[in-house]
Amino acid sequence: MKKFAFVLFAGMMAVIVISSCQQDTEKTYDTRWAGETMEEILNNIEDQFGGFSQAMKEVSYRYNDLYWAGMDENWGYAEYQLDKLTDAILKGFVRRPDREASAAQFVNTNIPRLMETIENGDKDAFVESFDRYAASCNTCHEMEDVAFIQVIIPEERTTVVRF
Ligand code: HEC
């Protein structure tokens, strides 16, 4: 009798385990647009985040405001923008890891060098460093086959932030 109860118990456990596994793969969700199955939902969300151009749109905006912050000697804002710009490009590499190698010099040399001029509040050094920093944006564009995207030193003030 004891043996029978054990077999019955083991059998019930097996049914529970198997049916919960099946539930996992078949589970559907009620979402507004993201999809029904987990795979569909994750694919759609990844798609909405976009790839590298999404990161570059943010980088481009921050690049411009960073430059004018330096011109205004608004070092707090310059540091803020360079931090956020770095964060944006690093998030871009999470989405497109193959792009990271071409940005090594930009990330490891040009960003820290520019940050140093900001921390020192040295406008002349900032201007000089920004030149090389901008050139390294273009070096990466050349390496990544988008040489037609050449960025220049901003000429017209378009930022809405003034110190
Ligand atoms: C990985 C190296 C890399 C670095 C460093 C880099 N870029 Fe880019 N950038 C790219 C690539 C690749 C694209 C095209 C993305 C695509 O096709 O999805 C791009 C696109 C752009 C675009 C067009 C965005 C759009 O879709 O409208 C701008 C503007 C831009 N970059 C500005 C900059 C600026 C400014 C810097 C420097 C502060 C910079 N980039 C640094 C690789 C880089």
Let me know: does 30 contact 73? Beta carbons within 8 Å: no
Please report the atom of ligand 1 found closest to the CA of residue 92.
1
Let me know: does 80 contact 70? Beta carbons within 8 Å: no
Q: What does the pLDDT read at residue 163?
A: 81
Question: Ligand 1 center to residue 13 CA distance, Å?
Answer: 55
Q: How far apart are CA 150 and CA 156, in angstroms?
A: 16
**Minimal-distance CA residue to ligand 1 atom 14:** 53
Q: What does the pLDDT read at residue 59?
A: 98
Q: What does the pLDDT read at residue 26?
A: 79
Q: What does the pLDDT read at residue 122?
A: 98
Q: Is 69 in the pocket of ligand 1 (CB under 6 A)?
A: no
Let me know: does 93 contact 140? Beta carbons within 8 Å: no
Compute how many other C-beta atoms are within 10 angstroms of the C-beta atom of residue 149. Answer: 14
Please report the atom of ligand 1 found closest to the CA of residue 136.
5
Q: What does the pLDDT read at residue 130?
A: 98
Q: Is 95 in the pocket of ligand 1 (CB under 6 A)?
A: no
Amino acid at 81: Q
Q: Is 54 in the pocket of ligand 1 (CB under 6 A)?
A: no
Let me know: does 107 contact 86? Beta carbons within 8 Å: yes
Burial classification of residue 11, based on how many CB atoms lie within 10 Å of its CB (0-12 exposed, 13-18 middle, 19 or more buried): exposed
Tens digit of each residue's pLDDT, the chain (163 residues): 566 666 666 666 665 655 555 555 679 999 999 999 999 999 999 999 999 999 999 999 999 999 999 999 999 999 999 999 999 999 999 999 999 999 999 999 999 999 999 999 999 999 999 999 999 999 999 999 999 999 999 999 999 999 8
Q: How far apart are CA 161 and CA 74, in angstroms?
A: 10
Q: How far apart are CA 43 and CA 34, in angstroms?
A: 8
